[in-house]
Structure 1
Amino acid sequence: MSNSALDSNKQAKYWLQRIHELDLQQPVRIMNVCGGHERAITMAGLRSALPKAVELIPGPGCPVCICPEEDIYEAIQISLQENVILVAFGDMLRVPVNVHHGEVRTLDQAKGAGADIRPIASPQEAIDIARQHPQTTVVFFAAGFETTMAPVAAMIAQGAPDNLCLLLSGRLTWPAVAMLLESGSPGFDCLVAPGHVATVMGAEEWTFVVKQYSLPTAVAGFYSESLLAAFYSVLRQKIEQRLFLDNCYPELVQQQGNPSARKQLQQVFNIIDANWRGIGMIPASGYALNDQYAAHDARQRYPDYRDMARKRAGQMPPGCDCAKVVLGKIYPDQCRLYGKACTPRNPVGPCMVSDEGACRIWWAGGVRQSRSKIA
């Protein structure tokens, strides 16, 4: 084992000990917004290591899970009906939509039906494919949060090929948390904010949780010692009622974030009201290309499918409780379909598709049966 790994283990044990030394008089619910956090928590077994009074709740931190059904349907139809190459991040290819039996319900199935659909891992791959096929329109179905949208914005700002256009389904993270807090029953007492988003947007973006809603908040990275430090921070804040925004990921997160990335996001995108699958419309939570870059907007090149797609707009599939999982209302294994009709091999809901989906993470962590109790 390397010295860095030994140091990490030592720090993790230190923070875990500090947490167990806290005087927790009542249960405390901590929401972790990020799917990467949930994966790290589950794979490291942090839930079982923490005091029983501490409840860790996965939140709306999976962009694949909340991508609106109408956007996926629109991508499917464009790929099937138009002479295009459609590219998307790999997880998006398996997300199902609600259609009649026998109809194409995923991008994977559209590919099987003859559409030219290619999984990619980065915006640069979309540029490369567009340059390799200059006579064909390449549609980049771009779903993701701020961390993903920043390189997408850079791709456009720096001069994307003329034959590359975006079918955009980007979202901002903080408005979903604000929506939960505004509901009056958010279901959590403390917040651990996503370190990757804060790396781009800055830790300051999460100060509203402390100032407006008086909730202990900390930004965390994606390894056990950072997460445990954040848990300790918010628990101590809760006990002492001394609230502040704590940055437990200082090696990458600055107060102002990444100025260059923020500038490109502002340059390329407008902020719009946006639909979140299973949640509904959240004000000022989506990205859209501004008029300067309209030539790269797939919805302007192929406007007919937008109206068709809206007719297909819906919530989660029948019996699927992904919306409650995303909102932190239930745990994944409390979904009625979890481990029964819905498995990674045959996902019914989007939370079982992505590596950042809570259901898929819990399955990978060894939870294979449903409790089937809806909170």
Structure 2
Amino acid sequence: MTDARTWLSRIAALPTSDKVRIMNVCGGHERTVSQSGLRSALPDHIEIIPGPGCPVCVCPEEDIYQAIQLAVHDGVILVAFGDMLRVPVNVAKGEIRSLTEARAAGADVRPIASPLEARRIANDNPTREVVFFAAGFETTMAPVAAMLLEGIPNNLTLLLSGRLTWPAVAMLLDTEQAGFDGLIAPGHVATVMGPEEWAFVHEQHGIPVAVAGFSTDSLVTATYSVLRQHLEHRPFLDNCYAGVVRPGGNPVAREQMAQAFDIVAANWRGIGEIADSGYALRPDYAQHDARRRFADHADSERRRIGEMPPGCDCARVVLGKLYPNQCRLYGSACTPRHPIGPCMVSDEGACRIWLSSGVEYAA
């Protein structure tokens, strides 16, 4: 098996010095790229751009606000994946701005690592209403669907905020001139959904694309593939994670998701609505929809706009329009301990990854 060092040598030997911008879609990819020092190991004319691969970063502000209000005012047990507890919303000074602050104020907010923990908590507390604030991409939504199909107690409802990854890339390519020359597609999503979801990148837009895993070796292999495709003007879909990613993905997981969810237009924080990019509970599971069981605490302006905090450039970072350290708040007002924007909260957020990797503010 060829290692990263060999692939880097092959990249350096490619007969081109033209600037090439390659976007990675996955927050896990960005973490490997940054922590391995891959950017500094590549020739200067090759740029690796962080893309829309952090579900915490794009979760609509109105959904987070709704979760906070349910926890504070409706007396529910609110459970969510750990990163979601620290994402701030835009509220007046002195108001509760995150689920962590809601817990500090006495709300029953609990971090979980698996959907099965939400079901266990509901079973252990049969006289309490339990709301599972379920945010994430396809790999998170697959076990949520499996849990629903297996059956959940009547006192468990879902505040669903799931998103699909490919529509954000499609939106970038469809609505404006592409800001990248090649794409590294997320291997974990392709494991569930199949690599074929990313064929539109080369078929419709003539842009090279390669599916990669999380190791440095896999990422450098995918980078080489994209560069070769670009150099030879021969774009195609290359599966550089073939040991895990199979054609068609995981048919059982895909079927369970199709039974549990409808695909709907959905809002992405700071970006706006993207067609066919969100998951919603199918009518068979309406009784477990928290938005139906509880009063809607999200006002119409929040639902329509979903803004980032003032001065925060997270939306531009997510769309690959700005590097994290070019945000004016990066590393000063906005830090992992005191995040202002969502990209500084999650381990998959580009701003947090860059700051944790020692990248300083670019004046």
Does TM, scored on the shorter chain, surpass 0.5? yes
Give yes or no for contact 1:63–1:145 (8 Å, CA) kept in 2: yes
Q: Give the one of 177, 194, 199 matched to 2:191.
A: 199
Residue of structure 1 equivalent to 2:362: 371
The yes-or-no answer on 1:22 pairing with 2:14 is yes
Q: Which residue of 1 aligns with 2:247?
A: 255
- The corresponding residue for 2:159 is 167
Q: How many positions carry a matched residue from both structures?
A: 363
| 1:284 equivalent in alignment to 2:251 | no
Contact 2:195–2:211 (Cα < 8 Å) also in 1: yes
Deviation at 1:184, TM superposition (A): 2.3
| C-alpha distance in 2 between matches for 1:224 and 1:304 | 45
CA pair 81-116 structure 1, distance change in 2 beyond 3 A: same
* C-alpha contact (below 8 Å) 1:69/1:312 kept by paired residues: no
Residue 89 of structure 2: SS of its match in structure 1? coil
Q: Structure 1: 5+ residue runs without aligned partners?
A: 1-6
Question: Structure 2 CA distance, aligned partners of 1:281 and 1:114?
Answer: 34
Q: 2:122 is matched with which residue? A: 130
Partner-residue secondary structure (3-state), 2:88: coil
For residues 330 and 336 of structure 1, what CA distance do their matches in structure 2 show?
11
Equivalent residue number for residue 323 of structure 1 = 315
In structure 2, which of residues 235, 250, 253 is the aligned counterpart of residue 243 of structure 1? 235
CA distance in structure 2 between the aligned counterparts of 1:371 and 1:230, rounded to whole angstroms: 28
1:141 Cα shift? Answer: 0.2
1:303 deviates by 3.2
Counterpart of 1:71 in structure 2 is: 63
Q: CA deviation at 1:345?
A: 0.8
Pick aligned residue for 2:76 from 84, 102, 126: 84
Residue 4 of structure 1 corresponds to none
Structure 2 distance, partners of 1:249, 1:103, is 46
Q: Name the structure 2 match of 1:107.
A: 99
Q: In the aligned structure 1, how far is the partner of 2:319 from the partner of 2:266?
A: 16
Q: Deviations over 1:251-283 (max 9, x none)?
A: 110110000000011000001100000110000
Q: Which runs of 5+ in 2 are unaligned?
A: none
Question: Aligned ranges for residues 40-79 of structure 1 at < 5 Å?
Answer: 40-79=32-71
The alpha-carbon distance between structure 1 residues 309 and 106, as it changes in their structure 2 partners (threshold 3 A), is: farther
2:137 corresponds, among 137, 142, 145, to 145
Please tell me the root mean square deviation across aligned C-alpha atoms, in Å.
1.3
Distance in 2 between residues matched to 1:342 and 1:40, nearest whole Å:
22
Partner of 2:277: helix, strand, or coil? strand
- Alpha-carbon distance, 1:24 to partner: 1.7
Residues 1:267 and 2:259 are matched in the alignment: yes
Q: Which amino acid aligns with 1:125?
A: E
Q: Is the 8 A contact 2:268 2:306 kept in 1?
A: no
- For 1:286 and 1:153, locate their aligned partners in 2 and report how far apart those are by CA, in whole Å: 14
Query: How far, CA to CA, are the matches of 1:121 and 1:312 in structure 2?
Result: 30
| Contact 2:23-2:51 at 8 Å conserved across structures | yes
Distance 1:288 1:148 in 2: 14
Q: Sequence identity of aligned pairs in percent?
A: 66
Aligned letter for 2:62? E
Distance 1:321 1:128 in 2: 38
**Aligned partner of 2:174 among 171, 182, 192:** 182
1:217 aligns with 2:209: yes
Distance 2:17 2:299 in 1: 54
TM-score (norm 1): 0.95
Distance 2:304 2:50 in 1: 28
CA distance, structure 1, for counterparts of residue 250 and residue 4 of structure 2: 28
Q: Where does residue 344 of structure 1 map in the other structure? A: 336
2:220 pairs, out of 207, 228, 251, with 228
Residue 106 of structure 1: how far off its partner (Å): 0.3
In structure 1, what is the Cα distance between the partners aligned to 2:178 and 2:59?
21
Report the secondary structure of 2:172's partner residue.
helix
